[in-house]
Amino acid sequence: MTTEDARVLVMMPTFNEATTLPVTVAGVLDQAPEINILVIDDASPDGTGLIADRLADEDERIQVLHRSGKQGLGTAYVAGIRWGLERGYDVLVEMDADGSHRPEDLPKLLRVLAAYPDAAAVLGSRWISGGATQNWPRRRQYLSRAGNRYVRIVLGMPIGDATGGFRAYRTEALTKMNLGSIASQGYCFQVDMVWRLIQAGERVIEVPIVFVERHAGQSKMSNKIVRESLVRVTAWGLKHRARQIIGAERRNRKQ
């Protein structure tokens, strides 16, 4: 699969992104004219869904999935992945609509995925060499770095930025995944996806990106989302350790 002949769908979940969605969509189509975009809107009170419909009317590369109310980022992406798998895309991309993910980084993600046919996913990373954040408050940087360090320690995953949401998956790897068992709602959905791929023995590659603080609209980040991540990542880590220990005990008994 080369970048040219792969069918690529960019999934863009939105909740109250009326100002930033049109700019992001235009930027993506400018950078990668051959791709399609699916906006997944959770009945945004600010009318983002209507704006998305208008964009879709004007350009057949854009489609909209409307959901009845705010149901969280994780379920929005699972709905987007199902939609993309049903329609036979080769690559599914996750991307925020708030301007934080620069469209100019998209071709790089797609290029690297095409260059490594054995890779299941390419993650845009803020926390590897060459990656950066722009205008992000110190507190958010600290939270993201500390969260990612915790993920690395608890899950033993050699990933610099497992919580980031700008990434490209090869659909082949996603078809093997049990999407119905994904319960994560907030950021930990991102960790959940990488963890599932790594556990399945898939190769995951990171490329540096520059993450830009949103200029408009409001963050949906909350203490609840941080708590969910902490609880779930800790539970996955304990389960993983327990499996390792039980496996080692069995092996010892056989010897």
103 makes contact with ligand GTP (CB under 6 A):
no
Q: How far is the CB of 47 from Mg ion (least distance, A)?
A: 19
Q: How far is the CB of 66 from ligand GTP (least distance, A)?
A: 10
Provide the 3-class DSSP secondary structure of residue 255.
coil
73 makes contact with ligand GTP (CB under 6 A):
yes
Closer to ligand GTP by Cβ: residue 77 or 89: 77
97 makes contact with ligand GTP (CB under 6 A):
yes
What is the DSSP track for 199-218?
Answer: HTT-EEEEEE-EEE--SSS-
Among 8, 9, 13, 25, binds ligand GTP (CB under 6 A): 13
Query: Pairing relation of β-strands 167-170 and 119-125?
Result: antiparallel
What would the x/- binding string for Mg ion be over residues 68 to 97, using CB under 5 A?
----------------------------x-
Cα 195 from Cα 189, distance rounded (Å): 10
CB 13 within 8 A of CB 81: no
Among 98, 161, 202, 228, binds ligand GTP (CB under 6 A): 98
Exposure of 148 in the CB half-sphere (CA atoms within 13 A): 18
Closest chain position to ligand GTP (CB): 219
CB 173 within 8 A of CB 199: no
| Sign of the C-alpha dihedral computed for residues 201, 170, 146 and 126 taken in this order | positive
Q: How far is the CB of 79 from ligand GTP (least distance, A)?
A: 9
Closer to ligand GTP by Cβ: residue 6 or 188: 188
Q: Which of 70, 92, 69 lies closest to 185, judged by CA?
A: 70
Judged by the rule CB under 6 A, the positions of this chain that interact with ligand GTP are: 13-15, 17, 40-42, 70-73, 76, 96-98, 100, 214, 219-221
